[in-house]
Each structure stands twice: as C-alpha cells, then as structure tokens.
Amino acid sequence: MPGTYLPESYLPIFIFIIIATLFGLGALLIGEIVRLRRPYHEKLMPYESGIDPVGEPRVRFSIRFYVIAMLFVVFDVEAIFLYPWAVVFDKIGLYAFVEMVIFIIILFVGYIYAWKKDAFQWE
Amino acid sequence: MNMPDLQPLMPEIVFLGLALFVLLAELFIKSKETIGLMVIVSVAATAYMIPQSFGVTFSGMFISDGYSSFFKFIFLLNLILTILISIQYIQIERAEFGEYYTVLMFSTLGMMIMASAGDLIVLYLGLELMALSTYILAGFIRHDARSTESALKYFLLGAFSSAILLYGIMLLYGLTGTTDIMKLSSLLMKNGMRLQSIFAIVMVMVAFGFKIALVPFHMWAPDVYEGAPTSITAFMSVGPKAAGFAVIGRVFLTGLEGFSADWRLLLVVLSIATMAVGNIIAIQQHNLKRMLAYSSIAHAGYAVLGVIAGNTEGLSATMNYLLIYAFMNIGAFSVLVLLRNEQERIETLEQIKGLARNHPFASALMLIFMFSLTGIPPTAGFVGKFFLFRALVYSGYTWLAVVAVVFSAISAYFYLRVVMYMYMYEPEEGVTQDISTAAPLGLALLITSLMVIAIGIYPEPFVNFARLVVG
C-alpha cells in the first residue's frame, strides 16, 4: 500500500547508525569528563615527538598546479572514454567512430587553446 | 545502430561548432571587434537554423518547437545586445580577454539546451553549462575585488541550488522511474504518493526560483549584479532568467500538470513576496546597479504571474513580457555602460545629478527605459504588464492582479527618482560625466529604445507571435 511502506530489511542498519552515533559521542564525552588536563609545550605541538614545525601549513601555492590538474582531468577523461569505446569497437561500428572523432576534435580544440595560452610552460 | 535525427539539434550543433571556432580564432586574431563581429555572424547563422529545426529527437529528450524557439530567439538577442555593449566597455575595465566572447556563447548554448530539454537530465546539463559560464563571466574583471567576490558568491549559491535541483530530480526519478518531463505528470498521479511528490516539486521549484531570483532565493542577486561587469549584469539579468522561465513553463505546466493546484499556490506566495521585496527594497538603493538588481527581482515576480495563470494566454504573456524585459533591461544597463568613462564608474544617483544638462540624449534614453520598466504607456513595459495582468484576471486571479498593480505603482517611485535626479538637479562639482562614444554601444541603444517604443505603440505582431508559438 502506498504511503505505508516501511523498509524493514533496513532496520538493522538504522539501529546500527544510532548505536554508532551514540558510541562515538559517548566516548568523546566520557573522555572529556574523566581525563586529566596538564598541557605543556611539547604536548600541544601538532605531532608530539615528531619533527618540529617550521611554519604555518596554510601557504599559498602556485596557480599552475591547478592548471596542470585541470589539464590532467581533461585528458584523463578522454582516455576513460576511449577504452570502453575501443573494446566494443567491432560491434558499434562507423557511427560510434564518427562520434568519437567529434569528441576528440572538441578536446583537440581545448588542447590547442591550452597550448597557445602557454599552459604547458612552467614559467 | 540507428542514427538519431539530428535536425532538431542543428542550431545547437552549429552554434557549438562556431563557438569552438571563435575560441580558436581568438588566439590568432587580436582585434576584439573582429571577434565580436564573428559572434554576431554565428548568432545570425544559428537564428537562421532555428525555424527549420522543429521536431523531437533522442527519444523525446530534446524538443525543438515553437515554445523553445521563442526562447532561443530571446537568448540570441540577449547575446547580440550584450556583445554590442561589451566591445568598448571591457577595454575600459581592462578585462579584454578573448574568452569573454566564447564564454558568452557557451552560456547562451546552455540556455538553448535548457529551453529545448524534454528530459530532466538534459535540462540539468544545459543549466550547468549556462551557470558555470556565467560564474566565470561575473568574475571577469580579475583585478577588481568586487567582481571576484560576486563570482564567488554566485558560484557558491549556484552550486547549492544545483544540488537542490538534483535532489528534486532524484526524488522525481525515484517516484516515477523516469526523467522524461512529458511522462512525469501521469506517472506521478498514478503512484499516488502525494506528499513525496510535493516534496520533490518544492525542491525543483527552489532551484528554479534561485535561477530567476524569486524571493526568498534572491539573496545572491544584488551583490552579484553589483559586482559583475555591467555588460554581464545586463546579460545575466535577462538570459538565465528567461532560461529559468523556459524550464519552469515546460516542467510545471507539462511535467507537473497534475499538481497544478499545489505548485500554483506556492508560486502565488513566492510571486507576492518577490514583488514586495524587490520593489520595496529597491526604494532604499542609491547605487543604480543595485537598484536595477532589485528591479529585476521584482520583474521576475511579475513574469511568474503568467505561469500562475497557467493557460496559453498566461504563458504567452510571460514569454512576451520576457522579450520586452530583455529590451528594456538591457537598454537600461546600456545607459550605465555608456556612463562608464576612463576615470570613474558613474553608478550612483548622486553622480547622475543633472545629467540632462550635459548629455540630453543619454538622459532621454534612460527616461524611456525607466518609463518602460515602470510600465507607463506608450512604452513596451506597459504592454507586457497589461497582457500579464489581463491573463491573470481571465483565469480568476483578479485579487492577485490588483496586488501586482499596487506593487507596480510602488516601483514608479524609484524608477522615476532616477529621472528626477537627471532632470531636476544641477550637476555636482567635481563629477566628470564623460560618456562613452563607442559605435556598437550606440547601435545597441538604438535597437533597444526603438523596440521599447515600437512594441509599446504596435504590440500586436509580438503578442500574436507569442500566442502562436504556445498554442
């Protein structure tokens, strides 16, 4: 009957979620209440008994990393599409071939664009 | 494997090809005027393809009909006018990158896909193409913090609304097992899960409401409109808005027809809130771009009225209104572009004091657009509102029409205040009111002002055209 459907087989998962939430919060809360607080310099470092920090972690890094990452994604996606196409090439024939050529032409336009914009130069 | 019928898709394919061509051409041709001309030629070629493209293809996922064609003409018109007002403006703003034109074309392509979408996934695809391009355009003045801020705000809120739309689409798919807009209504009625369906409808409405800036989803609009380059503000106050209405018309009037009583009630509330907030907050604005941002929120509230009426008459009135709105709003922003000189941005009421003394012609144009936005005859704004309210009265919402007229009267205050500042004050000392002398901008102003007056005096062909394509 519509509107009264209860996904009963998911009941254990629901109970599990509740227990997991309670357990997580409970552990943190009990720890907070019970534990001793004796902070000192070494203890407050990001990595106790690790390497001494040399500076802030939030530094600005070059925009070129983003450009490289984007180029990687673009051509990576191309490769992802090419593989399944190549595997079933025998069955899907000329039409899919033309489609793939168009797809590659569009990416090629992007390639030329990136090239002319010196996206491949690390300067 | 069968070849799908590509004829209905031809305008989009041609437009995409030309957009890619412009992208490459821009690398080799330095003259931006040439690129602008190429875009206009591309638009002409695409517009030529549209009337021959009628049909349905990809198993109903893509629909090219009179309805979508009308909207596509609005988008292409919007693109041409934006190009015309941009050519010199982006040089002054030092944002003269060739990508500007290509991204404008991609955004327009996204809108065209939205207007033709027969499937929620195609709709989403078009919406994202449009929105992502517009985010880039909003931040096009890279050295200006306000422009960057507007792009970031627009992006964050836009991504949020896209997520809500996807959630709505997911729920609709879960309820019906289809994303085909044409089949949604009957399947939703058949499975009878009313509450869940309404939940999904609300999600979809929130996302569309965001795109057309309905209150309470309008928060982004003033900041984004103010920070973005003025030419882009003109572009996105018309294009994405019209595209939003195109999908609202298709999804609500066709796909969710069976729930019309429910979404109509929601739209009534949203439209009253939109008209109220848009018009009343605009009174407080001294920055003209912000004022026009609130005004464009208010105009979305009016345009929704036609969808509430829900019949052929109402929908054609909305479409007609959007066409008129395109002319008058781009016209008003063109005057703002005209007032951007090398030294400063003339954007506030104080700066346009006594403009009529120095530039009687520019002031007269602004006067025409302000009258039209208010809805004073014989301008096009009057015709647009008249047909909207008429459709509303005929479908039994007389009280809503009265409310809309009251808010329209309130709007006269801030529109006519601009006119008052231009004509009834002396120019302030130390404000240089130099104006741009670009020929393309002049052409855009000529087209928009002539059309505003022409539609105002002789609206019949435009009204009939809108009726024809809907009916």
pLDDT 10s digits, B157-167: 999 999 999 99
Whether A74 maps to a domain, the answer reads yes
ipTM metric: 0.78
Our CA dihedral for B267, B271, B273, B275, rounded to 10 degrees, sits at: 180
Model confidence at B76, pLDDT cuts 50, 70, 90, reads very high
The reply to whether B195 touches chain A by the CB within 8 Å rule is yes
pLDDT at residue B106, rounded to an integer: 95
Residue A59 has pLDDT above 90, yes or no: no
> Which of B100, B105, B11, B8 has the alpha carbon at shortest distance from B56?
B8
Q: How far is B276 from chain A (nearest CA, A)?
A: 38
Residues of chain A contacting B193 with CB distance shorter than 8 Å: 2-3
Whether B2 maps to a domain, the answer reads no
> Which of B124, B129, B394 has the alpha carbon at shortest distance from B251?
B124
DSSP string, chain A: -TT----GGGHHHHHHHHHHHHHHHHHHHHHHHHS-----HHHHSSSTTSPPP-S-S-----THHHHHHHHHHHHHHHHHHHHHHHHTHHHHHHHHHHHHHHHHHHHHHHHHHHHHTTTT---
The reply to whether B25 touches chain A by the CB within 8 Å rule is no
Nearest to A95 among B1, B20, B192 (CB): B1
Sort B352 into a burial class: Cβ within 10 Å, 0-12 / 13-18 / 19+.
Answer: buried
Whether A29 maps to a domain, the answer reads no
Residue A56 has pLDDT above 70, yes or no: yes
Whether B399 maps to a domain, the answer reads yes
Q: What is the mean predicted confidence (pLDDT) over B95-117? A: 92
Distant-in-sequence, close-in-space partners of A50: CB < 8 Å, separation ≥ 6: none
| Stated length of chain B | 471
- CA B471 to each of CA B66, B77, B305, B312, B362: distance values in angstroms, whole numbers, following the listed order: 9, 23, 18, 6, 40
The reply to whether B187 touches chain A by the CB within 8 Å rule is no
Distant-in-sequence, close-in-space partners of B209: CB < 8 Å, separation ≥ 6: B217, B270
Residue B239 has pLDDT above 70, yes or no: yes
pLDDT at residue B349, rounded to an integer: 87
What CATH number does residue A106 fall under?
Answer: 1.20.58.1610
Is B216:B300 a contact under the CB 8 Å cutoff? no
Nearest to A112 among B3, B24, B195 (CB): B24
Q: What is the mean predicted confidence (pLDDT) over B422-433? A: 79
Do the Cβ atoms of B24 and A109 come within 8 Å? yes
Whether A48 maps to a domain, the answer reads no
Q: Which of A57-61, B45-49, B335-339, B360-364 has the lowest mean pLDDT?
A: A57-61
Which residues share a beta bridge with B119?
Answer: B180
How many structural domains compose chain A? 1
Q: Is the peptide bond between A39 and the residue preceding it cis, with omega within 30 degrees of 0?
A: no
Do the Cβ atoms of A112 and B1 come within 8 Å? no
Q: What is the mean predicted confidence (pLDDT) over B22-34? A: 88
Q: Which residue of B has its CA nearest to A105?
A: B20
Q: How far apart are CA B413 and CA B446, in angstroms?
A: 26
Whether A91 maps to a domain, the answer reads yes
Residue B164 structure tokens: 């809500």
Whether B93 maps to a domain, the answer reads yes
- How many alpha carbons lie under 13 Å from residue B339 in its C-beta half-sphere? 31
The per-residue pLDDT of chain A, averaged, comes to: 84
Model confidence at A64, pLDDT cuts 50, 70, 90, reads confident
Q: Which residue of A has its CA nearest to B25?
A: A113
Residues of chain B contacting A92 with CB distance shorter than 8 Å: 1
Whether A72 maps to a domain, the answer reads yes
Per CB distance under 8 Å, which residues of A are interface residues toward B? Answer: 2-3, 92-93, 95-96, 106, 109, 112-113, 116-117
Nearest to B27 among A95, A106, A116 (CB): A116
Whether A78 maps to a domain, the answer reads yes
Of chain A, the percentage scoring pLDDT greater than 90 comes to: 20
Distant-in-sequence, close-in-space partners of B458: CB < 8 Å, separation ≥ 6: none
Q: What is the mean predicted confidence (pLDDT) over A67-75? A: 86
pLDDT at residue B2, rounded to an integer: 66
Whether A59 maps to a domain, the answer reads no
The per-residue pLDDT of chain B, averaged, comes to: 91
Distant-in-sequence, close-in-space partners of A89: CB < 8 Å, separation ≥ 6: A96, A97
Do the Cβ atoms of B27 and A96 come within 8 Å? no
Whether A36 maps to a domain, the answer reads no
pLDDT at residue B212, rounded to an integer: 92
Q: Which of A44-58, B59-73, B124-138, B442-456 has the lowest mean pLDDT?
A: A44-58
Domain that holds residue B338: 7-470
Is B462:B455 a contact under the CB 8 Å cutoff? yes
Do the Cβ atoms of B27 and A93 come within 8 Å? no
Model confidence at B316, pLDDT cuts 50, 70, 90, reads very high
Domain that holds residue A83: 64-116
Please give the single-letter amino acid code of residue B14: V
**What's the pLDDT tens digit per position in B247-286?**
999 999 888 888 888 899 999 999 999 999 999 999 999 9
Residues of chain A contacting B1 with CB distance shorter than 8 Å: 92-93, 95-96
Is B14:B46 a contact under the CB 8 Å cutoff? yes
Give the global pTM.
0.89
